[in-house]
Structure 1
Amino acid sequence: MIIKKIFNNNAVLAKDLSNREIVAMGCGIAFKKSVGQELEEKEVEKTFILKEKEASERFKLLLEHIPSEHISICYDIVEYAKNTLKVELNDYIYVTLTDHVSNTIKLYKEGITRPNALIWEIKKFYPKEYSVGLKAVQAINDELRVYLSEEEAGNIALHLINAQVNNSFENVSDIANQTKMIQDILNLVKYSYGIVLDEKSLSYERFVTHLRFFFKRLKNRKENEEKKEEFLLKQVKEKYKKAYECMLKIEKYLNEKLTEEEQLYLILHIQRITD
């Protein structure tokens, strides 16, 4: 590999034999070296090859302003998340997560902490991502000698959720908003029926999963794609009156005019979860 640019003593931009741009990292990898010199592979500890051009350019900017140890630990977190969650993550996770973690550490050293109001909802609805977040916080605390709280695991989980390929949400705030809405809707169902829902039941899990896809449909739907289910909806409204009334409360909460198909599916799920 030939050095193309030196970010600091521990990180460089290089070109490999296939003429691909690679960010190479290693302790003292660029010490006493200059652009154009060859980089020995034994000196390289980690390499980044980001396919998305915009993500790659943003990542290079991060290297100029963020400590290399922050970048290194976030790289390990992303790789651990990929292997644990068994999902494909967008390249931008290297940028967004690294920027977030580095800024969080900076604020921590200044005595500033940011509470996560959705920590319990994240633990409940995204247990796998939250578990990875806990491991990430432990690794950050151990390696960088800081003490980030459990709430930071929730923040990291939100970044992992957002980075999953085929996720239609655009940013972390969308995921956070969706998580709050799921909890609010579950509360509406519970209070409408005056019951405690079995959170370990298959019906509960299906309902939460349906809500996630339901929000995606609300976000992306087009008027000309709406399907009419007038006859079936009329029958369901008459048969499951209480579920229908509960659905109307959810519709009012969302402040969104639902299609008849969306109303139908919500009524059926509410009936199933409360039966």
Structure 2
Amino acid sequence: MKLLKKINNNFALALDSRGEQIIVEGKGIGFQKMPRELNDLSLITRTYYDTKEQDVSLINTVSEDILNVSADICQYAEMKIGDKLNPNLRFILADHLDFAIERMQKNLQIKMPIYYDIRLLYPKEMEIAEYAVWQIKRKLGIELPESELTGIALNIINSELVSETVGENKDELIEQIAAFIEKSFSMKIDRKAFSYSRFVSHMEYLLRRAKEGQQVSDENLQLYKTVKSEIPEINRCVDGIAVLLKEQGYPLNEEEKLYLMLHVNRLCDREGL
């Protein structure tokens, strides 16, 4: 195996014996001189195939503790579901958990009205979510609220499914949303960053919700009013995006606008606004 480039102290880019670029993990692996041949493979604790440039960005964004908990959860998920999970689930889930912890610390809890539907239709995925919450409490000392179970389960479910197109203009519409955000805040979004990749995933989910016309819950309606008063500049941007989406046949209710506000705000935070 050839080590190519340090990502951080415990992660590096490498080439396997077949010449495929991978991410490798190992205690202190980033301290190795690079590029170089690595003959002692016992130094590698985990390898990650089919990774993207955005995954490298995420490794340097979330804490190593969250990455490790996410890896444990993914191993448990593979044991329960099999090998049909997205190989990048560890990084996708780590990003979700990082955001869930951030929301909890800010006392921003979104009630998911589909909780009982998910528990009924996807018992294995909900069991994995319960395991995830338990592991986070045990290893990080953070007790996530029950409302986060649905979000974690949805990440597992989505990793099993082939991504469905919302419509023929989906990609163009999401690009218009990104351009609107850039114009609103005089900023440039890095389209290669993991934060943007996750933003795109959240926008695809939002467009599906808007098409399906899911109902707003009373708990989220009150939270929506609170958040829009706390981040008025994000609220103004989201109001503009809502007009754009309505014109394209995706009307947003208050709950969807809350969801959009949280993720626009997070994207701006990640871009250093």
The TM-score bracket by the shorter chain reads 0.5 to 0.7
Deviations 1:55-74 (A, max 9, x none): 52221111122222322222
Question: Structure 1: any 5+ residue segments left out of the alignment?
Answer: 183-275
Distance verdict in 2 for CA 1:56–1:167, change over 3 Å: closer
* Conserved? CA contact 1:121–1:179, under 8 Å: no
Q: 3-state SS of the aligned residue for 1:65?
A: coil
Q: 1:29 offset after TM fit, Å?
A: 2.3
Query: Alignment partner for residue 83 of structure 1, among 79, 96, 103?
Result: 79
Deviation of 1:30 (Å): 2.1
Distance 1:180 1:157 in 2: 21
Cα distance per residue 1:156-186 (max 9 Å; x no partner): 101111121346376444776799969xxxx
How many residues end up aligned between the 2 structures? 176
- Partner residue, 1:134: 130
Within 5 Å, which residues of 2 pair with 1:18-167?
18-31=18-31, 33-39=32-38, 40-50=40-50, 56-86=52-82, 88-108=84-104, 110-118=105-113, 119-166=115-162
Alpha carbons 1:116, 1:154 under 8 Å: kept: no
Report the Cα distance in structure 2 between the residues aligned to 1:140 and 1:169, rounded to whole angstroms: 33
Give the superposition deviation at 1:3: 1.7
Q: 1:104 to 1:85 in 2, by over 3 A?
A: same
Q: What's the C-alpha RMSD, in Å, of the aligned pairs?
A: 2.8
**Offset of 1:147 from its aligned partner?**
1.3
Amino acid at match of 2:5: K
- 3-state SS, counterpart of residue 22 of structure 1: strand
- CA distance 1:92–1:173, shift in 2 (3 Å): farther
Tell me which moved more, 89-98 or 169-178: 169-178
Q: What does residue 273 of structure 1 align with?
A: none
Measure, in 2, the Cα distance between the counterparts of 1:173 and 1:160: 17
What amino acid is aligned across from residue 143 of structure 1 in structure 2? Answer: K
Consecutive unaligned residues of structure 2, counting only runs of 5 or more, are: 167-203, 216-273
Tell me which of the two structures has the higher relative contact order, counting C-alpha pairs closer than 8 angstroms and 6 or more residues apart.
2
1:1-27: CA deviations, max 9, x gaps? Answer: 222111111111111222111211122
CA contact (8 A) 2:48 2:87 kept: no
Opposite residue 9 of structure 1, the aligned amino acid is: N
**Change in 2 beyond 3 A, CA 1:30/1:166:** closer
Q: Deviations over 1:10-53 (max 9, x none)?
A: 1111112221112111222223x222133331121111111xxx
Which of the two has higher C-alpha Rg? 1
| Distance in 1 separating the partners of 2:130 and 2:208 | 18
- Aligned partner letter, 1:115: I
TM normalised by structure 2 equals 0.56
Task: Label 1:147 to 1:15 Cα distance change in 2 as closer, same or farther (>3 A).
Answer: same
